[in-house]
Amino acid sequence: MAIKPLPNEKELLLEIAKGDGIAFAQLFRAYHGPLIKYIYTMLESVETCEETVQDVFLKVWENREILPNLNKFTAYLFIVTRNYTISAIRRMVKDKKHNQLYAEEVLSLNNGEEVFNLDQEYQNILIKAIAELPPSQQRVLQLRQQGLKSREIAGEMGISIESVKKYQQWATKSVSKFLKLHTAVTISVILGIN
C-alpha cells in the first residue's frame, strides 16, 4: 500500500493528539479512499471495507497521544490497516463456515426427523424459504426428508446423482441466505430495531 503523506501531516497529528476533531476529520478524508481501495483488493466487500476503515480510524483516534512521536504515520496506518484487514478476513471465513454448517444442520435429517427442534416462527420462515426454491430443489429436499439417499433420489427423479447433490447444494445455499436475511429482520422487529 503506497500512500503519500499529507504535506501538513505533522501539524495535523499534533492537533489530533490534542483532541482536535476537525484535524482528525481532515486526516480521515485524506486517507479514507486509498484505504478502501487497498482493503477492497482483499475483502471484496464494500460494507466490510467501510467497517474496517472505521475500525482503523477508531484505533488511530484512541491512540492519538502517540501520533506526534511517529516517524512515519503512513507506515503506522498501514500496520493498523493490515491487522484489521486480517481480522476481517478471519471473521468472514469463520462466518462463512458457520453459515454453511448451520444450513447443513437445519436441512440434515436423522431417520426422517429434523435434527433441530425449531420454534414455530423459525419453522414458518424455513417453510417460506423452501417454497421459494425451484421445483427440482424442493423435490430433492422433500425426498431427502423422507430419508432417501442420493442414489434413490436420482432414480425417483430420473436425474444423475451429481444433479441431486448440486440441487441440494443450491437449495442449502438459498435457504441459508433466506433464513439469514429473514431471521435478522424478525429479530429486528422483535427488538424494535429500525
Instruction: Give residue-wise pLDDT tens across range 135-153.
Output: 888 888 888 888 888 899 9
Domain that holds residue 14: 9-93
Q: Are 81 and 157 in a shared domain?
A: no
Q: Which of 84, 73, 85 is nearest to 41 (CA)?
A: 85
Among 24-33, 104-113, 128-137, 157-166, top mean pLDDT goes to 24-33
Q: Say if residue 192's pLDDT is above 60.
A: no
What's the domain count of the chain?
2
Q: Are 119 and 186 in a shared domain?
A: yes
User: Is 102 part of any domain?
Assistant: no
Q: Are 153 and 177 in a shared domain?
A: yes
**Residue predicted with more confidence, 85 or 183:** 85
Q: Which of 176, 175, 174, 167 is nearest to 144 (CA)?
A: 167
CATH number at residue 61: 1.10.1740.10
Domain boundary among 93, 126, 161: 93
User: Is 2 part of any domain?
Assistant: no
Question: For residue 134, what pLDDT band results from cuts at 50, 70 and 90?
Answer: confident
User: Is 116 part of any domain?
Assistant: yes
Q: Are 85 and 143 in a shared domain?
A: no
User: Is 78 part of any domain?
Assistant: yes
Instruction: Cite the DSSP H helix spans in the chain.
Output: 9-17, 21-43, 46-62, 73-107, 120-131, 135-145, 150-157, 161-191
CATH number at residue 122: 1.10.10.10
User: Is 179 part of any domain?
Assistant: yes
pLDDT tens-place string over residues 5-58? 888 899 999 999 999 999 999 999 999 999 998 888 887 778 888 889 999 999
pLDDT at 18: 95
User: Is 100 part of any domain?
Assistant: no
C-alpha cell at 128: 417460506
pLDDT at 142: 84
Q: What is the chain's Cα-based Rg?
A: 25
Residue type, 185: V
User: Is 4 part of any domain?
Assistant: no
Q: Are 120 and 172 in a shared domain?
A: yes
CA distance 146 to 163: 18
Q: Are 13 and 85 in a shared domain?
A: yes
pLDDT at 102: 57
User: Is 1 part of any domain?
Assistant: no
Q: Which of 95, 100, 107, 80 is nearest to 45 (CA)?
A: 95
pLDDT at 194: 43
